[in-house]
Structure 1
Amino acid sequence: MDHHAPSGNPLSRLDDWDDFVEARYPVPGEKAKEDYRKYDSSTRDGVREFYQLNHRYQTYDFVQEKKRTYLPLQKREMTVLEAVEYLNTLVDDSDPDISLSQREHLLQTAEAIRADGHDDWFVLTGFIHDLGKVLCLFGEPQWAVVGDTFPVGCAFSNRIVYPEFLQDNPDSRNPRFNTPLGVYERGCGLKNIHLSWGHDEYLFHVITQAGCSLPEPAQYMIRYHSCYPWHRENEYQDLVDDHDREMLPWVMKFNQYDLYSKSPNRPDWSQLSDYYTSLIEKYLPGKLAW
């Protein structure tokens, strides 16, 4: 299949979504799927505190400020592997499921995709999808980089994780922003909606401005994989358009690898580096603007 033109329903090989999840995950003896993304008394220390900060400060104006600061991509030039090496030092404070470094998470995600025989562009997407977390390298706190994303500029959904913390967000009391459409038009599409600022949107701009040849489903996976209120909770349907709905199965499929591949088992980078270096050279060679 031409890597520029993926076609068909990504779930077509199995009858329905539950069949896909059960066929691949959970691996016997490892964590069960219902134990992922649990936000309760068993959640590891720091996650609740992370979302208190995230929900308080991720306002519409804050997002505009960060886009003006970062989307010109003038902070530095780095290769993909240099960005990956930085992530080897970062543990995501928002993740309730695992405390491995981000490089190990990327490898687990990509290797799960690879094990199921998917195209190399899909494998590479798994390997790079969180590279936008290099924002922490530029001094950004984790609450402005990682965690679930959600639309700003309109009413907050009560299906956002820890919705009670959004009461501290000043936008929740601003009449301009607290209606279902807010500042947007019905059916305007995700590309015209501002999500809370983070690594997804940032990396999307890094790869597209670099002229990356990854196909559009990969770009959607990168840009929206943290937007759980949309792809998991089916919220904000008044804002999405038909093209978003067409791309949604790809994001959902990717998300299962992103989520259910997490394991305490550490991948061996020394055994995998040659393969992933070859994929980077094919799709994202040289230094990129960050």
Structure 2
Amino acid sequence: MTVCIEQSVHESEVVVETKNHCDTNELVLIGDVVVPDQTVVGGDFDQPEVNAFGQSFRDYDVENERQKQVEEFYRMNHIYQTYDYVKKMREEYKKLDKLEMSIWECCELLNEVVDESDPDLDEPQIEHLLQTAEAIRKDYPDEDWLHLTALIHDLGKVLLLPRFGELPQWAVVGDTHPLGCAFDDSIVHHKYFKENPDMNNPAYQTKNGIYTEGCGLENVMISWGHDDYMYLVAKENGSTLPEAGLFIIRYHSFYPLHRSGAYKHLMNEEDVKNLKWLQIFNKYDLYSKSKSRVDVEKVKPYYLSLINKYFPEKLRW
């Protein structure tokens, strides 16, 4: 006998509406993309208690050399990421005139990149990409777009390399936040915003700032970095990833939103739907970081097949 009911599942203060929740243990979201019930299917993910350094994840207060480096990163980030700076960077990098290459070629370039803002890992970035993708693939085997999204979500970090402009770390990595409105207290190392030139503009100091409530995140200027750049690359090159995948790429570092619930008043209905997917993705992005290595050659054929499905052979970067 099959029993179907309608119910709501509350996760991280976001309500996920379910329809015909039968013995398939699935949640159906708008857009005909099926999300498995995490309490059943996602239970295999073994969330570690400590990061690669033996400490709590995202602990920005512990005293060690790595944390001092991370704090200095955020000091620079909060001083120099201004509304005008982000506008300029978006206009410059939307040209996609640096070079042409495939997605996998870009993955291999990340062997040269280490994220100085990350308090949990100091391995080359390709390790993190594969760890995240493989963890999601295990728990959500039928959502191939989500596997690929995990693989490519950090590819924008190539902005650190000379051929992409060799931008400073504070302009590429780290948590992101809106410009043009008040800086929320939940932003990591919030104290350093006092030196940001935007603090001198009264129009930017209110909750809504220059925006209107419900305007949609696509209309909000978010601090510049690898998220926005990779979103531009995917969008402008005609990727067929679903909107939820593009949303994850663009806002996965927007921790004030998806971890603290800040700035929700700027979201529209489409953002609310896509945020559900981002919160599913986030635990794998954060907690799959470890010293465990993934056999690249073993998994490479699978990810190449997904790249061919959702992207052109060569992309403009």
TM-score w.r.t. length of structure 2? 0.83
Counterpart for residue 226 of structure 1: 253
Matched to 1:274, the amino acid is P
Aligned-partner Cα distance in 1 for 2:36–2:196: 38
CA deviation after TM superposition for structure 1 residue 275, in Å: 1.7
Q: Deviations over 1:206-262 (max 9, x none)?
A: 111111111111111111100001111100122112221121110001111100100
Matches within 5 A, 1:112-261: 112-116=135-139, 117-137=141-161, 138=164, 139-261=166-288
Largest Rg, 1 or 2: 2
Matched to 2:143, the amino acid is D
Matched to 1:120, the amino acid is D
Higher relative contact order (CA 8 A, sep 6+): 1
Asked whether 1:7 is paired with 2:33, we answer yes
Counterpart for residue 84 of structure 1: 107
- Match of 1:92, SS? coil
RMSD: 2.4
Whether the 8 Å CA contact 1:6–1:215 is kept in 2: the answer is: no
Aligned-partner Cα distance in 2 for 1:205–1:195: 13
Counterpart for residue 265 of structure 1: 292
Range moving further from structure 2, 188-197 or 230-239: 230-239
Aligned-partner Cα distance in 2 for 1:242–1:33: 40
Gaps of 5+ in 1: none
**Aligned residues, how many?**
283
Asked whether 1:50 is paired with 2:77, we answer no
Q: Deviations over 1:114-156 (max 9, x none)?
A: 1112411111111000011111122111110110000001000
Range moving further from structure 2, 243-252 or 145-154: 243-252
Aligned-partner Cα distance in 1 for 2:199–2:293: 42
CA deviation after TM superposition for structure 1 residue 27, in Å: 4.7
Structure in which a larger fraction of residues adopt strand = 2
Whether the 8 Å CA contact 2:244–2:277 is kept in 1: the answer is: yes
Aligned-partner Cα distance in 1 for 2:287–2:188: 18
Aligned-partner Cα distance in 1 for 2:256–2:31: 28
CA deviation after TM superposition for structure 1 residue 26, in Å: 1.7
Counterpart for residue 41 of structure 1: 62
User: Would you identify which runs of 4 or more consecutive aligned residues in structure 1 move more than 4 Å?
Assistant: 27-34
Gaps of 5+ in 2: 1-25
Whether the 8 Å CA contact 2:49–2:56 is kept in 1: the answer is: no
Cα distance 1:33–1:226, how it changes in 2: closer, same or farther (>3 A)? farther
Match of 2:84 among 61, 72, 81: 61
Aligned-partner Cα distance in 2 for 1:281–1:152: 36
Asked whether 1:100 is paired with 2:123, we answer yes
Whether the 8 Å CA contact 2:78–2:193 is kept in 1: the answer is: yes
Counterpart for residue 73 of structure 1: 96
CA deviation after TM superposition for structure 1 residue 13, in Å: 4.4
- Between the two proteins, what is the percent identity of the paired residues? 47
Whether the 8 Å CA contact 1:11–1:253 is kept in 2: the answer is: no
Q: Deviations over 1:27-80 (max 9, x none)?
A: 589879991111012462411111111111000000011011101211111111
